[in-house]
Amino acid sequence: MSDKKTLSPLKRKWIKRIIVISILLIIFVAGYLSWNFSRKLKAEQLLLKDTTTVITGDISTTVQAGGTITYADSILLDAPANGTVEEIFIESGDFLKKGDDILSIRNDRIDDEILALENEIQSLDMSIISESSRKTSSVYSPVSGKIKGIFVQKGDDLSAVSSTLDGILLISVDDRMVVHIPVVTSVSVNDKVTVHIGNKTAEGTVVTIGSEEIEITFDDHSYAIGETATVYVSGGNELGKGPVEVHTPYYVISKTGIVSSVPVSIDQKVSMGTTLLRLKEAVHSQRYLDLLNTRQDLVDKLSRKRAEPELWVLSAPEDGIITEILAVSGSETLEDQIVATMSIASDLELIIHVDELNIPDISIGLACKIYYMALEGKTYSGTVVRISQSVSGADGFSRYPVNVKLNETDEIKAGMSARVEILTAERSGTLLIPSEAIQIIDGKRYVLVTESADEKGKTPDPGREVEITVGLSNGLMTEVLSGLKEGDIIIIPSEEESFGRFFFE
């Protein structure tokens, strides 16, 4: 019989239970230790903050808007002659090349128009013959009044002088002078005032009060044109000053002859027919010369009328699109009457609609980048040339039309849709930080500055607040004008920190 002891089945069962419980206990302890370590590590990591460095770079701000290519300008097409619209060759919306026919006009009244011009010339010839025998060696006053200006002297050629002056003599028809002074509120129309000119005084009357000046008239007592007049109200208060002028001026005009003498003088009263100038030789009257000029104009018009064809054809002056036809076949039309409008194909522009919040940033001359929907992968350029003052938009948002001149038009067609970026501002070589690093507290801007960060750009340092002044911002990056220097390390706050500081501090 063997001495080896054999465990009973009951003992073996308990031993197995103890082993299983021990293994489970070891697993639990190991799991707990692992979880506790992970929790501590995560807590430590939560205390680490992301950082970034202040850099030097370039920044720009843009305004984006959409729009459509359209024609920049339209031209008016007028009838080349009087007549009847015989045929219209095109329809509204047609694209025409330069020289394409638009419509024809039958000039069925040309014979009557030629006859009317010939009769007018014949009638004028009778007046010229009658006036040709009337020569004079003097210039006479056509009105009564007082001489206030003499602009010629002995030896002057009136044809040369009259080309640079309003007249050769100036006559005051009503013997009154006028002065204009800046508007004041202490007088009314018809008020009496005192006018001082040198050592002379005159009683004046307020005639009109405009938006910018007051007109005061007074009797002429040999006052010189251009003298300074000072106006006073009763009590001696000065109203204002201004140069003396003729109230009702009449400029004498004569364009032929050499002056031999001037028998009148300044402030001399003259009557109608008074001799104002004597000439070296007798000359034709001014009326005779005017009749000759009128006749020549009529002769030129008659010559052009005789050269006109019976059938006029109006052609397109440039490549473009007919936007409107105003004539009707069979209707009567007059020379120079507008019969159609046309948009020039080569004169394109882009009209975009800018939101009211961005319109203060837009100004004429700003450069634009243009992206066309139909021309993917290409960037074009343009310039802001006009900002409309009228508001558009029916969706509750106000937008302003802005015209952009295109720098490239080779592939561009009217009606194309485009997205535009308008460069509103830019800086080069300036300090930049991420916009998310900035916290706003009581209207002031701050960042958290730390002294160091690990190789992953993290730091446990809570940082110190530094107030900064900012410039341009494009949403992602912001320009720093003061408070930081290049290389400074700043903390990027978490969303929770930014939210809490913004709302609760």
Closest to 270 in 3D by CA, of 138, 137, 165, 131:
138
Q: Taking the mean position of all CA atoms in its chain, how far away is CA 287?
A: 47
What pLDDT score does 504 carry? Answer: 37
Q: Assess whether pLDDT exceeds 50 at residue 405.
A: yes
Burial degree of 179 (CB within 10 A; 0-12, 13-18, 19+):
buried
DSSP-derived secondary structure letter, 157: B
Over range 410-426, report the average pLDDT.
89
Please report the pLDDT score of residue 8 as a whole number.
65
Q: Which residues are CB-contacts of 317 (< 8 A; sequence separation ≥ 6)?
A: 75, 77, 98, 342
What integer is the mean pLDDT of 381-406? 85
Domain range summary for the chain, segments of one domain joined by +: 50-55+429-504, 75-108+310-343, 112-134+288-306, 136-282, 348-426
Predicted pLDDT at 505:
40
DSSP secondary structure of 352-406: EEEETTTGGG--TT-EEEEEETTSTT--EEEEEEEE-SS-B-SSS--EEEEEEEE
Q: Is the pLDDT of residue 113 over 90?
A: no
Class of domain 50-55+429-504: mainly beta
Residue 166 pLDDT > 90, yes or no?
no
Closest CA to 373 of 348, 356, 341, 350: 350
Summarize the chain as % helix, strand, coil (round to 5): 20, 45, 35
Q: Is there a shared CATH topology between the 136-282 domain and the 348-426 domain?
A: yes
Percent of the chain clearing pLDDT 90 (strictly above): 48
- How far is it, in rounded angstroms, from Cα 497 to Cα 233? 74
pLDDT at 503: 41
Q: Give the integer Cα–Cα distance in Å for 264 and 147.
A: 8
Q: Measured between alpha carbons, how far is residue 461 from residues 51, 92, 320, 493 in Å?
A: 10, 74, 70, 12
CATH fold of 136-282: Elongation Factor Tu (Ef-tu); domain 3 (2.40.30)
- In this predicted structure, what is the pLDDT of residue 47? 65
Flag whether pLDDT at 502 surpasses 50: no
75-108+310-343 CATH pick, 2.40.110.10, 2.40.50.100, 3.30.70.1450, 1.20.120.450? 2.40.50.100
Average pLDDT over residues 458-468: 88
Residue 379 CA neighbour count, 13 Å, CB half: 6
> pLDDT tier at 493 (50, 70, 90 boundaries)?
confident
Q: What is the pLDDT of residue 70?
A: 87
Greatest alpha-carbon span in the chain: 182
Choose among 259, 227, 233: nearest CA to 246: 227
Lowest mean pLDDT among 352-356, 476-480, 490-494: 490-494
Contacts of 141 (CB under 8 A, 6+ apart): 171, 252, 270, 271, 272, 273, 274, 275, 276
Residue 217's DSSP bridge partners are: 178, 205
Q: Which of 84-98, 233-247, 278-292, 387-401 has the lowest mean pLDDT?
A: 387-401
pLDDT band at residue 5 under the 50/70/90 scheme: low
Q: Averaged over 85-108, what is the pLDDT? A: 90
**DSSP per residue, 263-316:** ---TT-EE-TT-EEEEEEEEEE-HHHHHHHHHHHHHHHHHHHHHHS-SEEEEE-
Residue 414 gets which letter from DSSP? T
Q: How crowded is residue 143: how many other Cβ atoms within 10 Å of its Cβ?
A: 15
**Beta partners for residue 150, in sequence order:** 169
Gap between the Cα atoms of 435 and 362, Å rounded: 23
pLDDT (0 to 100) of residue 3: 53
Contact 403, 354 (CB under 8 A): no
pLDDT for 42 equals 54
The 10s digit of each residue's pLDDT in 443-455 is: 899 999 998 888 8
What's residue 229's pLDDT?
95
Residue 261 pLDDT > 90, yes or no?
Answer: yes
- Average of per-residue pLDDT across 86-94: 90
**Residue scoring higher pLDDT (478 or 394):** 478
Which pLDDT belongs to residue 469?
Answer: 93
Q: What is the pLDDT of residues 276-311, one digit of tens each?
A: 999 998 888 778 888 999 999 999 999 988 888 888
The answer as to CATH 1.10.10.200 being correct for domain 348-426 is no
Mean pLDDT score across all residues of the chain: 87
**Least confident range of 16-25, 244-253, 316-325, 452-461:** 16-25
> What is the per-residue pLDDT for 41?
52
The predicted pLDDT at position 500 comes to 45
The answer to whether the beta carbons of residues 168 and 253 sit under 8 Å apart is yes
Length of the chain counted residue by residue: 505
Question: What was the pLDDT predicted at 173?
Answer: 95
Q: Rounded CA gap, 113 and 106, in Å?
A: 14
In the chain, % of residues over pLDDT 70: 91
The rounded distance, in Å, linking the Cα atoms of 434 and 333 is: 69
